[in-house]
Amino acid sequence: MLTKERVIARNNVTVVGSGNKTLMLAHGFGCDQHMWQYLIPQLEEHYTLVLFDYVGSGQSTISAFSESRYNTLEGYARDVTDICDALNLSEVHFVGHSVSCNIGLLAAIASPERFASHIMICPSPCFLNMPPNYYGGFERSDLEELIGLMDRNYIGWANYLAPLIMGSGTSHALIGELSSSFCSTDPLVAKTFARATFFSDYRHLLPQAKHAALLLQSEVDSLASPEVGRYIHVQMPHSTLRVMASEGHCIHMTHPELVAREINAWLEGRR
Amino acid sequence: MVTSNLFSLDDFPIGCMVTDYKRRILYSNRYLEQYHGYSTRDLLGADLFILLSKASQIMYDTYIVPILVREKQCDEIRLSMVTRSTSTLPIVVNVLCDDSANERIFWSVSSSSRSDQLFQELTETKKLLEQKISLLRTLSDTDQLTGLPNRAALTKHLDQKIIDLQKNDMAFALAFVDLDGFKEVNDLYGHHMGDRILQLVAKRLATNLRSDDLIARFGGDEFVVFLNGRFSAGLVEESLSRLINKLSEPFDIDSVLLKLSASIGVTLYPQSKEVEPDQLIRQADQAMYQAKLSGKNQICLFNVGNEQVQKGKQSELNAIRAAMGANQFELYFQPKINMLTGRVIGAEALIRWNHPSDGLKEPATFLPVLNNTSTGVELGRWVITSALCQLQEWLQQGLDLHVSVNIDGYHLQHSQFLCDLSHILADFPGLPKQRLELEVLETSTIEDVSHVYSVLNACRMMGIRISLDDFGTGYSSLSHLRDLSVDTLKIDRSFVQNMLSSAGDLAILKGVIGFAGAFECDLVAEGVETLQHSQQLIELGCECGQGYFIARPMPAHAFKPWVEEWHQHAFKKQFKRHR
């Protein structure tokens, strides 16, 4: 039985700020809720902010990770609905970064009564090129290379053989002590999240969206280009596209004022 | 002379680069040209991403940028550089961003071709090691003869299952299978044949289980079967009966048809108390042993309640053994007399336990637990020996009497009883054996009557007297008298006590007295509690008695003084005063 306390501990849920409107901030691939730290000061005065880490990321309970649950985004979406249920949230404005926009969409389709709107920061429903109608930006081989690079970067060379030497052969051995550095993640977990993120195609979800959505697309973003933003806008009912004068994929970190302004405007318009 | 202006960044054997937040390249040193092949001039103002592979671009956006925003620097990030000739080069970069407002990002870039090669080799080594280790694991978890998981694998499996099941509230049954008469197969046909049989048994067991069950060879001809699911006693017996039936079909080995059977003990999980995996195996093993005892080729379900009773019994037995070691047992003696003449004809030895905290304990409080135990047999031996010791002492002191001891049915049926008795008697060479009387309870559970008769007859041949205790209360009194020649009948106290008031009891009593005469046995009445009892008994023709009216059981040291007093005063006082 998932009690409120267990979900809060499992997903390292923190609630900050105050206000009638509830915003749930969902981090993207590779990081944790700390990526919101530049945006929080701009939002916490007016809104109640629910922050969390997906299982396997940040300070979540890593033992709750299971490859079978988290090898598709549906598993991460269950984290979102679990948290909504545990805190009994409603009228949630779901602020997702990158892949979390898809996760939020899955969660809102599964439990529409919990949500009010989507705020999508640099969303992409599919990172793969699907010619001739869709170009997510990457070929399958690019993404295979990414998994290879992750192997080289995430796995400490010294403990590369440790799971073998320690025996047991289970995933428990792989889930070791993580360094405290931001964005450091267990390799098995990170690769599972990477595969779920980069090899999936959730374009079919867009027309099913039941809530209004604000799309914040960066002017220059190779991961989620303005073309991808336009595609989403066309496919998704009740969506508003804003192409921002910003560069890069982490605009909530690099351009927090811009993003906050858009969020405020969006939420004020939804009074 | 040392000066800081003599050297330029172009002189260092490392790629140096500066970019801004819009990913524009602001500076690149000459060494870096060797890597990417562009001229420095071409690169200035260009997008950093022309030097990075697509995967590296994702790494930049999702990994490097967030770290830089938070921590201002990151070290030893492995990326792929795309060269002017569109080939890729593995690189490792350190990245630092300055704190000033102009937000520049400083890069050091070096080739990681060699370490990348090392990584490739490491990856291959790891794969190879994985294969080897999985092979080793398979070997260490597999029984070589049958190919089944071995005991170690079973333990691991159980550990894991118990952890899983605690989470998921599921259940299983664990069965311990032992072949009946396997040793005979080995002895008769040789170990080679035995091994073949084990292989076939393993195969037959394995093919008759569901895919989520597990069978392991525990050792020798023992197998453990793990059955997933929640079982009732009936259901598990039904499932295992199928296995037993399968095993009882003949095995064909080189045209020799061999028939085997198996005994199975089974226990269920979860139980009301936490149990460890090895405890579960022990429970199933114990139940299997019960199945063997009950005649083999059957299933026995382990009973948790029984285990508690067994544990309690065991601790009582331990206490009794300790008491024997500490000399806490003592024989009391109750006289048997001729009520007509007053002569003391004998004494019945009765055991007492001088318990350090409970005080003097009557046999009824500790004898039941000894039933059918080796401790009981041992205590029985002690009683005979002690009684003989006492008898010898009294005879030497001039007391002319016999001593009787009570022998339990299970002791009498013990295979070593006669042998033990001869050994004990051999320690008292001068003692006339007819002074020892064995009192056999008529109601004793005697499974093998003919064996007991032969034992008792052998005792009589040795000269020992036999008496039937509590006569009249057993079902087969008459047949006993017919088949077994005894020296004495002891009339049960219940008839004696009620004879004054109950015509029925009086009739039985008369009958018993008649039997004794007909079979030429001596007669002793138990439970003589009043003068009226004794007088009536004498009138009916039963002269000998024992009971509280005469004397209570007493310690050995008190017996001789009692006899002397009895002869001098007491008998006359009690029996003659009303005459």
ipTM score for this prediction: 0.84
- Strand ranges inside B460-574, DSSP E: 465-471, 488-491, 522-525, 544-545, 554-555
Residue B415 CA to residue B377 CA, distance in Å, equals 11
- Least CA distance to A139: which residue of chain B? B54
The pLDDT value given to residue A231: 96
Mean pLDDT to the nearest integer, B46-56: 94
Mean pLDDT to the nearest integer, A214-222: 93
B110: left (phi over 0), alpha (psi -120 to 50) or beta: beta
What is the rounded average pLDDT for all residues in chain B?
A: 87
Residues comprising chain B, all counted: 579
Label residue A173 by pLDDT band (50, 70, 90). very low
Mean pLDDT to the nearest integer, B482-499: 83
Does any CB of chain B come closer than 8 Å to the CB of residue A156? no
Does any CB of chain A come closer than 8 Å to the CB of residue B135? no
Element (H, E) at B127: helix B113-141
**Could A248 and B61 be called an inter-chain contact, meaning their C-beta atoms sit closer than 8 Å?**
yes
Q: Residue B318: what residue type? A: N
Does any CB of chain B come closer than 8 Å to the CB of residue A143? yes
Element (H, E) at B438: strand B436-441
Write out pLDDT tens, residues A53-74.
Answer: 999 888 888 888 888 899 999 9
Residue B373 CA to residue B370 CA, distance in Å, equals 5
Residue A43 CA to residue A264 CA, distance in Å, equals 8
Nearest to B63 among A143, A164, A183 (CB): A183
Cβ neighbors of B417 (< 8 A, separation 6 or more) are B411, B455
Element (H, E) at B264: strand B261-269
Label residue A209 by pLDDT band (50, 70, 90). very high
CB A55 within 8 A of CB A77: no
Residue A196 CA to residue B490 CA, distance in Å, equals 92
Cβ burial B157-181 (10 Å sphere, 16+ → b, else e)? bbeebbeeeeeeeeebbbbbbbbbb
Mean pLDDT to the nearest integer, B75-93: 93
Min Cα–Cα distance to chain A from B91, Å: 11
Does any CB of chain B come closer than 8 Å to the CB of residue A221? yes
Q: Where do runs of H (alpha helix) occur along B371-463? A: 374-396, 409-412, 417-426, 449-462
Please give the DSSP secondary-structure letter assigned to residue B142.
B
Nearest to A152 among B65, B70, B119 (CB): B119
Label residue B443 by pLDDT band (50, 70, 90). low
- Least CA distance to B168: which residue of chain A? A1
The pLDDT value given to residue A271: 62
Nearest to A253 among B69, B78, B133 (CB): B69
Cβ neighbors of B376 (< 8 A, separation 6 or more) are B367, B370, B408, B410, B411
Nearest to A222 among B21, B57, B116 (CB): B57
- Strand ranges inside B55-163, DSSP E: 73-82, 88-97, 104-111
Cβ neighbors of B534 (< 8 A, separation 6 or more) are B339, B528, B545, B549, B575
Does any CB of chain B come closer than 8 Å to the CB of residue A158? no
Residue with tokens 């003696």: B333
Mean pLDDT to the nearest integer, B415-431: 90
**Could A148 and B122 be called an inter-chain contact, meaning their C-beta atoms sit closer than 8 Å?**
no
Token pair, residue B139, equals 């070997």
Q: Residue B112: what residue type? A: S
Q: Which residue did the predictor score with more confidence, B483 or B531?
A: B531
Residues in A touching B61 (Cβ below 8 Å) = 221-223, 248-250
Residue A85 CA to residue A114 CA, distance in Å, equals 9
Label residue A235 by pLDDT band (50, 70, 90). very high
In sequence order, the β-bridge partners of residue B222 are: B178, B219
Nearest to B66 among A31, A152, A222 (CB): A31
The set of catalytic residues of A is: 98, 221, 249
Least confident of A9-18, B27-36, B71-80, B434-443: B434-443
Interface of A with B in 164-193 (CB under 8 A): 164, 167, 169, 181-183
Cα-trace Rg, chain A:
18
Residue with tokens 């053989």: A161
Residue with tokens 């690769």: A191
The pLDDT value given to residue A184: 54
Express the helix, strand and coil content of chain A in percent, nearest 5 each. Answer: 45, 20, 35
Q: How far is CA B265 from the centre of its chain?
A: 12
Least confident of A34-43, B94-103, B377-386, B495-504: B94-103
Q: Which residue did the predictor score with more confidence, A214 or B183?
A: A214
**Could B53 and A38 be called an inter-chain contact, meaning their C-beta atoms sit closer than 8 Å?**
no
Q: Residue A120: what residue type? A: M
Residue with tokens 């201002």: B72
Write out pLDDT tens, residues B314-333.
Answer: 888 889 999 999 999 999 99
Cβ neighbors of B238 (< 8 A, separation 6 or more) are none
Min Cα–Cα distance to chain A from B134, Å: 9
The pLDDT value given to residue A159: 47
Other CB atoms closer than 10 Å to residue A127's CB: what's the count?
23
- Residue B16 reports pLDDT greater than 90: yes
The pLDDT value given to residue A166: 46
Residues in B touching A160 (Cβ below 8 Å) = 122, 126
Cβ neighbors of B564 (< 8 A, separation 6 or more) are none
- Least CA distance to B24: which residue of chain A? A247
- Residue B308 reports pLDDT greater than 80: no
Q: Residue by residue, what is the 3-state secondary structure of B9-71? A: HHHCCCEEEEEECCCEEEEECHHHHHHHCCCHHHHCCCEHHHHECHHHHHHHHHHHHHHHHHH
The pLDDT value given to residue B165: 72
The pLDDT value given to residue A167: 44
| Percent with pLDDT over 70 in chain A | 87
Token pair, residue B240, equals 């295992």
**Could B54 and A30 be called an inter-chain contact, meaning their C-beta atoms sit closer than 8 Å?**
no
Token pair, residue B356, equals 């350090």
Residues in B touching A38 (Cβ below 8 Å) = 69
Write out pLDDT tens, residues B165-203.
Answer: 777 777 899 999 999 888 888 888 889 989 999 999 999
Q: Which residue did the predictor score with more confidence, A240 or A32?
A: A240
Residue B298 CA to residue B359 CA, distance in Å, equals 46
Residues in B touching A138 (Cβ below 8 Å) = 54, 58
Nearest to A79 by CA among A19, A26, A145: A26
Residue with tokens 């170009």: A135
Residues in B touching A181 (Cβ below 8 Å) = 67, 71
Token pair, residue B129, equals 């090691």
Mean pLDDT to the nearest integer, B36-60: 92
Min Cα–Cα distance to chain A from B150, Å: 17
Does any CB of chain A come closer than 8 Å to the CB of residue B94? no
**Could A137 and B56 be called an inter-chain contact, meaning their C-beta atoms sit closer than 8 Å?**
no
Nearest to A102 by CA among A198, A241, A1, A220: A198
Residues in B touching A145 (Cβ below 8 Å) = 53-55, 80
Cis check: omega of the bond before A132, within 30 degrees of 0? yes
Does any CB of chain A come closer than 8 Å to the CB of residue B151? no
Residues in A touching B116 (Cβ below 8 Å) = 152
Does any CB of chain A come closer than 8 Å to the CB of residue B65? yes
Please give the DSSP secondary-structure letter assigned to residue B85.
T
CB B576 within 8 A of CB B415: no
Angle at B43 between CA B41 and CA B49, to 5 degrees: 180
Label residue A178 by pLDDT band (50, 70, 90). very low
Cβ burial B252-287 (10 Å sphere, 16+ → b, else e)? ebeeeebebebbbbbbbbeeeeebebeebbbbbbbb
The pLDDT value given to residue A174: 36
Write out pLDDT tens, residues B511-532.
Answer: 888 888 888 889 999 999 998 8
Residues in A touching B58 (Cβ below 8 Å) = 138, 142, 146, 198, 222-223
Cβ neighbors of B21 (< 8 A, separation 6 or more) are A247, A248, A254, B103, B105
Q: 3-class DSSP state for residue A212? A: strand
Residue A118 CA to residue A97 CA, distance in Å, equals 11
If you write DSSP's letter for every residue of A130-191 in order, what string do you get?
A: ETTTEE-SB-HHHHHHHHHHHHHHHS-STTSSHHHHH---SHHHHS-PPPSSTT---HHHHH
Residues in A touching B56 (Cβ below 8 Å) = 149
Q: 3-class DSSP state for residue B384? A: helix
CB B205 within 8 A of CB B145: no
CB B112 within 8 A of CB B91: yes
Min Cα–Cα distance to chain A from B175, Å: 26
Write out pLDDT tens, residues B107-145.
Answer: 999 999 988 888 888 888 888 888 888 888 888 899 999
Residue A215 CA to residue B364 CA, distance in Å, equals 90
